[in-house]
Amino acid sequence: MTTIYSRRKATNGIMMGLCVAAAGIGLAWLALILGALLYKGAAGLSLAVFTEMTPPPGSAGGLLNAIYGSVVVTIIAVVIGTPIGILAGTYMAEYGRFSKLTTIVRFINDILLSAPSIIIGLFIYELIVRPMGHFSGIAGSVALAMLVIPVVVRTTEDMLNLVPNALREAGTAIGAPRWIVIRSVGYRAALSGIVTGILLAVARISGETAPLLFTALNNQFWSSNLNAPIASLPVTIFQFALSPYQEWQQLAWTGALIITLTVLSLSIIARSLTGRKEG
């Protein structure tokens, strides 16, 4: 008996050590990546980055047009994709939980979740860009919206499924219609999780490059016309990082740092706001 206990204890110790080592290796690589990003990206941070346009080769400049384009395209994508995702997730969790349609939609949604973003870009290229005859910011927004939808659908469905049925029954017992119960009880209980899902979607599309290469393309100059090519931070980072010009490479590091800090800040703010409301 003692031998078996010692053997199990030794096995547990070995496995625990391997788990800790694996976690340590992952954290070490993460620290190295973030450290390199901070070291190289912070060196290029200045007011000019946020006030000047992307420069020609070999010149100094900023990322104003790229930042503006990314913000506009991302906001439009979230505005398009979030309502669709929330409504679809609500139907799957509240109305058609055991229906065949829900099973089909969930299967398609899982495929979209794992689909390479370049496939989405090619699809929107054939659907919008090619018939229009030119690249455009609105096409880029639609491509990113298709990446937002599956994340929000999955999160909304999962969060609403976690809401206890007793809360729904309490609302129904006082005569409230089902849609009011969902709005006032289900959404309120699942708010933190739904907001987290939206933030995950924003985090995913903030750094997507491939879909924008096939839809919004890029623009070295300032443009607020969504029916024309528009600059974006991920595409600018991609192009500048591959260039032989030191000024462009520095702007690429700085742009990557800006994206990272923006996503981190949004996550912290959203979690604090939802936590305060729940409290």
pTM: 0.87
Say which CATH class 48-276 falls into: mainly alpha
Distance of CA 101 to the CA centre of its chain: 26
CB 63 within 8 A of CB 49: yes
CA–CA gap between residue 220 and residue 65 (Å, rounded): 8
Distance of CA 151 to the CA centre of its chain: 8
Nearest to 76 by CA among 147, 125, 2: 147
* Amino acid letter, residue 175: G
Longest dimension (CA), the chain: 77
CA distances from 106 to 98, 119, 205, 253 (A): 11, 19, 21, 38
User: Which position has the token pair 């931070």?
Assistant: 233
pLDDT in tens, the chain (279 residues): 567 788 888 888 899 999 999 999 999 998 998 899 999 999 899 999 999 999 988 888 999 999 999 999 999 999 999 999 999 999 999 998 889 999 999 999 999 998 899 999 999 999 999 999 999 999 999 999 999 999 999 999 999 998 998 888 888 888 888 889 999 889 988 888 898 889 888 988 988 999 999 999 999 889 899 999 999 999 999 999 999 999 999 999 999 999 988 877 877 776 676 565 455
Q: Do residues 235 and 209 touch, judged by C-beta distance below 8 A?
A: yes
Domain boundaries, the chain: 2-44, 48-276
Tokens standing for 16? 């625990």
Number of helices followed by number of strands (H, E) in the chain: 13, 0
The letter for the amino acid at 167 is L
Give the number of other Cβ atoms within 10 Å of residue 118's Cβ: 14
Nearest to 230 by CA among 112, 71, 101, 19: 71
